[in-house]
Amino acid sequence: MSKRFYVTTAIDYVNGQPHLGHAYEKVITDVIARSHRAMGEETFFLTGTDEHGQKVQQAALAAGKTPQEYCDELAAIWQALAGRLGLSNDDFIRTTDPRHEAIIQAILAKLEQNGDFYQAPYHGYYSAKEETFLTEKDRREDGTFDPMWGPVTELVEENYYFRMGRHQQWLIDHLEANPDFVAPSYRRNEVLGFLRNNTLEDLCITRPKERLSWGIPLPFAPDYITYVWFDALVNYASLPGLRGDPVVIEALGPWLPQDGAFAPNPDLQLWPADIHVIGKDILKFHAVYWPIMLKAMGLPLPRQVLAHGWWQKDDERMSKTTGNVVDPIAVIEEWGLDAFRYYVTRELDIGPDGNWTDAGFAARYHAELANGLGNLVNRSLSMLNRYRQGIVPPPHDELRADVTSAVATVEGLLRGHSLQAALIAIWRLIDRVNQYVDQTAPFKLAKDAAQAGRLDEVLYNLAESCRILAVLLWPFLPETAGKIFAQLGLADTPDRWELSQWGGLAAGHQANKPVPLFPRRDQPAA
């Protein structure tokens, strides 16, 4: 067994409300996972929830529940979201999984033994809302802290620190030698700029238990709880580890419980991760602290941290307080899952920030999904049914070159994870085939018995183009791709790239009747 392509999303704070931003990240990661699988790579896609920390402890207390009960209820909502988004994730990690906790403790024990930690008093200001310490630099001109931090309290407490100094130079060297380690390149430059111009401060990796009990105790100092970010980042390696990934088990072996629960499984080679998909706000954790943690743990670094931008709605930050939030489930209920998946991937390239508008969504739905793709499939299959009782005529190659070249372009773009550009290329092909209908005018050919052969040719080219479009669309719009195959009367699933070879539809194959894929919603129902 060889190593699988391993792709992850950030794990969401369990106590947050799932919104467009979370859903976007999960959808683009799903498209990446599906396209790698379609191209024949064994793939593993992980997502999950980040469940420890002060906010969860406080919210559980306020709700009169134990933190675990509270997390169990909320994790179910996030797992349901993954289902509603059509994610093809292979597992779902929860940081309250006792096996994750055992791995965190193994890592802490190993790092303590290696001399990576020391104890020292901490003086500072603490934002419980953002679970972070603030410094004098965070004060505004008038001496106060931004209300986004919530109440800020002054603290003096003993804590454990992770030594960072010895790691700064090799990390700079690694970023310089591996230009793709952080993508897009402007995010890499940000990280390099930060590392070159600042001395990394040691990372405080504990909270005293008396202040925060909802977390993983240090194995060598049980009065301390592991800092939630240290705990959360490890999810990417702990899930492979708890499923027996040999690389993770090898690195942590002596520190793991020796009860046989962590036996290596040579069939599941995941680590190192190929891509961590994350939002730009958590880049420093992933491109600075996480590589350093891995190096200290003796594990290879991930191949890439891919940072996407942030969504706004109507040019404003989404926030629960203003009610300015896009609820992905509500959009999916109104417009369908694939309409949502299409809009977010088509509207926003991975990197820059994006802006959601309801009008923009409706416009793309009608122009690109209903008129572009939906109309093409509908008229191709209607004419095949009307003029040939749904029976596919003999193969013909008129659109072969156009389709084959589009397939090659889309393949290259998918391999480079240029999802938006891949959709643009697919729609260029859709427009080309729609034009072909207008140019060849099969409805006119059908009126002239002498043109029966020409009509056969056109109908074949249309049906075969629709079939291949389904294969190209699969990573993005799996439901729709499946419907196109079903309407073509194909029992297969369009989930393998090799199905995009021209000529797959055989003469005499019986297609089904079309059903509109994206009904228009701007006219009263007929």
Task: Write out the residues near ligand MSP by the rule CB under 6 A.
Answer: 10-13, 16, 21-22, 24-25, 50, 232-233, 235, 278-279, 281-282, 310-311, 318
CB of 204 to ligand MSP, least distance (A): 17
String of DSSP letters for 279-328: EGGGHHIIIIIHHHHHHHHT-PPPSEEEEE--EEETTEE--TTTT----H
CB of 402 to ligand MSP, least distance (A): 36
CB of 155 to ligand MSP, least distance (A): 22
Alpha-carbon distance of 48 to 50, in angstroms, equals 7
String of DSSP letters for 21-66: HHHHHHHHHHHHHHHHHHTT--EEEEEEEE--SHHHHHHHHHTTS-
Angle at 36 between CA 34 and CA 39, to 5 degrees: 105
CB of 431 to ligand MSP, least distance (A): 30
Alpha-carbon dihedral of residues 493, 495, 501, 507, nearest 10 degrees?
A: 0
CB of 205 to ligand MSP, least distance (A): 14
CB of 22 to ligand MSP, least distance (A): 5
CB of 24 to ligand MSP, least distance (A): 5
Task: Please identify, using beta-carbon distances, which residue of 90 and 231 lies nearer to ligand MSP.
Answer: 231
Task: Please identify, using beta-carbon distances, which residue of 267 and 281 lies nearer to ligand MSP.
Answer: 281
Task: Please identify, using beta-carbon distances, which residue of 21 and 86 lies nearer to ligand MSP.
Answer: 21
CB of 376 to ligand MSP, least distance (A): 32
Q: Tokens 């792709």 belong to which residue?
A: 7
In the chain, the amino acid numbered 460 is: Y
CA distances 428 to 65, 150, 377, Å, are 54, 49, 15
In the chain, the amino acid numbered 276 is: H
Task: Please identify, using beta-carbon distances, which residue of 215 and 279 lies nearer to ligand MSP.
Answer: 279
Task: Please identify, using beta-carbon distances, which residue of 357 and 404 lies nearer to ligand MSP.
Answer: 357
Task: Please identify, using beta-carbon distances, which residue of 12 and 368 lies nearer to ligand MSP.
Answer: 12
Of all residues in the shown chain, the one whose CB is closest to ligand MSP is 279
Where do runs of H (alpha helix) occur along 137-243? 168-177, 185-197, 228-233, 235-242
Structure tokens that stand for 498 in this block: 């090799």
Task: Please identify, using beta-carbon distances, which residue of 49 and 500 lies nearer to ligand MSP.
Answer: 49
Contact 420, 475 (CB under 8 A): no
From the number of C-beta atoms within 10 Å of its C-beta (0-12, 13-18, 19+), residue 222 rates as exposed
Task: Please identify, using beta-carbon distances, which residue of 73 and 281 lies nearer to ligand MSP.
Answer: 281
Contact 104, 231 (CB under 8 A): yes
